A and B are shown apart, each in its own frame.
Chain A
Amino acid sequence: MADLTAKTPCAGLLPLSIGTLTLTEVDPGHMTAVAPLKGQTSALSEALKTAHGMALPAPNRATGKDGARTIWFGHAHSLLIGPAPDPSLAQYAALTDQSDAWAVVRLEGPGAADVLARLTPLDLRAPQFKRGHTARTDLMHMMASITRTGPQAFQIMVFRSMAHTLVHDLKTAIEAVTARAG
């Protein structure tokens, strides 16, 4: 019997480079949904700090950095991205493996915010959406998670099954922005 071989959500679709903009698939490592048990939010935050070096993020915020990051992921959930969850977290939170559930891409380059402006109603102006800000929002017709990871860089996540549509929609918007720039 052959081993099972792994395929990433955007296999065969990315990377993409048009004009000054690049779209690449991110290997997020482990992704774990972390939902605090009743009354355990601060204990969980402490445990997260001890184990992974970052606090539990407030709504619409991300903590940590590339490689080990926790992003707010909607009502009562955060998503630990990068390391495998430390077993100590389990006593404070429901942990659910989501490593394979999301397509994760990185949009980078001058005009990245203009590209997203074609797809999401988020206010992405720098003072309103800084590095470390994150949101669950619409991306065209998909529900998405968008996090600013740099001055001209965003991490975008949608359901794995929608990877094809994600790349199509982003590519269309990148082409339009690039065409305007001339």
Chain B
Amino acid sequence: MRLDGKGQIDRNSPVSFSFDGRRYQGFAGDTLASALLAHDVRLVARSFKYHRPRGVLTAGSEEPNALVTVGQGAAQDPNIRATTLELFDGLEARSQNRWPSLEWDLLALNDLGAPFLGAGFYYKTFMWPRAFWEKLYEPVIRRAAGLGALSGQHNADTYERAHAHCDLLVIGAGPAGLMAAKLAADSGADVILCDEDTRTGGRLNADTQEIDGLPGALWAEEITAELAAMENVRIMTRTTVTGAYDGGTYGALERLPHAVASRKGAPKETFWRIVAGQAVLAAGALERPVAFRNNDRPGIMMASAVRAYVNRWAVSPGRAVTLFGNTDSIHRTAADLIDAGVHVAALIDARPDATCDLDLRFYPGGQVCDSAGRKGLEAISIATPSGIDKIQTDCLAMSGGWNPSVHLTCHMNGRPVWNPEIAAFVPQPGMVPGLTAAGACNGQFSTHQCLTDGLTAATTALQALGRRAAALKSPRAEDTPYAITPLWSVPGKGRAWLDFQNDVTVKDVKQAATENFRSVEHMKRYTTQGMATDQGKSSNTAALAVLADATGRSIPGTGTTTFRPPYVPTAIAAMGAHAQGTGFAPQRFTTSHRASLDAGAPMIEAGLWYRPSVFPAPGETHWRQSCDREVGMVRNAVGVCDVSTLGKIDIQGPDAAKLLDFVYTNRFSSLKPGRCRYGLMLREDGHVMDDGTTARLGEHHYVMTTTTAAAAQVMRHLEFTHQALHPEWDVSLISVTEQWAQFAVAGPKSRDLLNGLLDKPLSNDNFPFMACGPASIKGTKARLFRISFSGEQAYEIAVPARFGDSLFRQLVARAETLDGGAYGMEALNVLRIEKGFLTHAELHGRTTAFDLGMARMISDAKDCIGKTAAQRPGLTDPDREQLVGLKPVGAIKQLTAGAHLFTAGDAPTRENAQGYVTSVAFSPTLGHFMGLAFVQRGPARLGEVITLVDHLRGITTRVEICDPVFFDQDGGRARG
């Protein structure tokens, strides 16, 4: 019921929303929870396992019960806490985990089966038959129990990631946080002040205490305005700090208000990484429930929450409110309710020595032992020394004391310590380096203590930052001592809830102890206490107190479970914002990308690069048609292919040749300027890392070519070799991959094509096979290399990248006049397999120079990286799988890469494997499929017919082992 005259809601701004399809009206400033309570909607959810009716328990992010789903379709967002969901016009929220409806939930039958469904039930019952677990039991259980569901579609909302930096991060903007922020800001530090609420003030917004004679909320507003006006302060509301990480880094989740988030381009949430020199944790404390029989009915709430609804949102959660607890919190709530004109039916203070001067029915030393009411609270039973009293009530405000929010201090595996004075765990200094706890989360519960502790913590932080603290006095505030008599559970029969979200009762925890799950971590897994979205914020301490009692240990002796980030549920979509789909990695486009797309070429990815697979000609409907034509073009006329993606590393300096001799197996110091050489590079362990050609442009100047996808690895290898192994060498390395657009011009007519373009004509004599040197095209400086990956007479011409698009278009146009054209990756692959040239399909990291038939490329006359390791007997064993060619001789003419090879007649089993196929293609030149493979003692078995079995694709055929060079074995075409 809405109260008159109070609160921080804007009664001039009505907001309409719906819950489970019914329309309601609230006000700006409401949460979904406060607006529903204003309409006396108490039943808002069904419980996890037993489908018991549940209502709002708290007024904050710790809420275990009131979870709803917001949004439709792909944007469906489950498990949103109604207590922190800001109301906005048009909000549509739905309840979860009920069927067919919240009011009539058939699965509430589970509740009748409760004696059988306690903790450990699943483990014991669904053990056999084993196969039934995955197929039957689990799906049924998952349907019956659980929280909200995802849509199963790709996330449609916009999320964002961002970074922030500050000297001091203040986590929580209650009295302690505000004082800490103010002192640090006055002292000149860069301050970020985060609070998960929509406004600063913390408990001051929910309570009625005064600070310096002002209502607490107003004081908070004033100090916040002062902070907001300072250039060195950044106030981030709606921002929950979710985790503490190494190096003063904190994760934080910011929820943008709906009005902002609905603008074009704006995110729904931002995940911040905040790097802070120091941090003050002023996260406050959470009130904890008391376990008693049927303490989970809608209408039973935390006393502090009832106070918040009355004072902040002007809502009374009931018309006849009762209070039960063991601290003064219930007295405060009673006073505020009376002040607001709400009827208070009784106050039950479990402390026998409690006094009360309020005008109400008072039960000192009493305990609430049961509740009644089907879908909401109707009455409670009170155990008094003289017997059981029953009282009519529609709202019970309870308090079992306060748990400091120590969560963040534990994120680096530090453990909080038990403080018996306040019957709660408090942080120890130094649990997170650079983080100081202050205020209620540090066990300082009065407003005065919070204010002064905030100042103390900020002073500590400023000192660590090397700054002088400015002069700032703590304002006047209440300093009531905290008096608590621990009360975890009320003895008696029936189920008394500890963990509302996971339906864990006192009995379940005792059961865990009985079955010897005595460690708190074991108890947690056995009962599921503390799991799911609230991570046991309300239940952890009480559950372990019950466990301690059941096992005859003390609470500190029992210990706590581990708090891990995130503090509140955080969408993976926020942490991985903008990394969906193509955002996963940058796209690298060549200079010919546009021209290739214009020609209708489909793109394939090679590393981050996009490369054309084929250039379909009119009438071609299958890639093989295009590929076969392109291969023929290169073999008979001329083809043009963009090879800019290959890594190009510029190596300069007097010791450049030394470096190359050391990283390559063969010699490069003997290479003459103006010539290229093929090189093989080994890893330290003797296996082949990469291959490629290196050109010597000058006495002290080389350009190395690497495989496209290995460019970064090779660069790293060279840098390591130089920086770590031979820092004394005078050599410098830099990638020039991006500087040059480089095109292969391959085929018998390649020289004709180039001679129409270059300023100086080429001949076979002035520019023979493996020559390199400068060239020019109408005055534009270019580099020319006579190298061939197709086996044809071929050149690679490189120009500064700005000319790449233009040169590619001109080369293709010229090729077309010579019956040639552009060719793509498919044809490139066929051409190289015909020649037995290698790619990383063969250099896959487990092959050696020996395996590749290149053992002689490891020079005897010098050392190189990997040489010694490559000589290990295991790496030169003649029985190793070695490179061979394959051609089909069986009925099935298709070969497949990845297939395994077996001696004819052997069963195709793992033990009999003789090798495997790495590359296959149909050769239009030869008219049949061909393959490259590794076969045990392969080179000695040329001519042998073996069996190819592709277990995955279900192909079995016979193949003949042959030389890996299928075409032009003496290489005359490339030299011609």
Contact = CB atoms under 8 A, between A and B. Distances in A.
Interface of A: 1-9, 33, 35, 37-38, 75-77, 94, 96-102, 117-118, 120-125, 128, 140-142, 158-165, 169, 172, 175-176, 178-180, 182
5 contacts: A5-B806, A96-B652, A98-B738, A162-B587, A176-B267
Given A99-B739, A120-B163, A165-B586, A94 B652 contact: yes
Contacts of A117: 162-164
B263 to A, nearest CB: 4
B245 to A, nearest CB: 13
B200 interface: no
Contacts of A122: 163
Contacts of B654: 37
Which size class do B's interface residues fall under?
35 or more
Given A97-B739, A100-B801, A4 B807 contact: yes
A1 B650 contact: no
A180 B810 contact: no
B737 to A, nearest CB: 8
B590 interface: yes
B805 interface: yes
B730 interface: yes
Given A121-B273, A175-B265, A98 B800 contact: no
A4 B778 contact: yes
Contacts of B855: none
A4 B160 CA distance: 42
Contact of A179 (B263, B579, B804): B263
Contacts of A4: 777-778, 780, 799, 803, 806-807, 810
Contact of A141 (B585, B736, B810): B585
Contacts of B584: 141
B145 interface: no
A75 B267 CA distance: 37
A176 B807 contact: no
A118 B160 CA distance: 7
B718 to A, nearest CB: 12
B217 interface: no
B194 to A, nearest CB: 15
A7 B802 CA distance: 5
A178 B160 CA distance: 14
Interface of B: 158, 160-165, 190, 256, 260, 263-267, 273, 275, 578-579, 584-591, 609, 650, 652-654, 719, 723, 730, 732, 734-740, 756-757, 777-778, 780, 799-807, 810
Given A76-B732, A125-B190, 9 more contacts: A2-B806, A5-B803, A96-B652, A97-B800, A100-B740, A100-B801, A141-B584, A159-B588, A161-B609
B738 A35 contact: no
Contact of A1 (B275, B723, B757): B757
What 8 pairs across the A-B complex have the smallest Cβ distances? A175-B265, A179-B266, A35-B732, A94-B652, A101-B738, A100-B801, A161-B588, A38-B730
B592 to A, nearest CB: 11
A164 B587 contact: yes
A98 B734 CA distance: 10
Given A100-B738, A160-B801, A37 B653 contact: yes
A118 B577 CA distance: 10
B162 A118 contact: yes
Given A76-B732, A118-B162, A125-B165, A141 B803 contact: no
A7 B806 contact: yes
Given A117-B162, A161-B588, A176-B265, A6 B806 contact: yes
A123 B780 CA distance: 42
Nearest to B591: A7
Given A125-B190, A161-B589, A77 B778 contact: no
A142 B264 CA distance: 26
A94 B803 CA distance: 25
Contacts of B756: 1
A165 B800 CA distance: 21
Given A4-B778, A38-B730, A179 B736 contact: no
Contacts of B739: 96-101
A116 B165 CA distance: 13
Given A1-B810, A4-B803, A4-B807, A94 B653 contact: yes
B811 to A, nearest CB: 11
B427 to A, nearest CB: 28
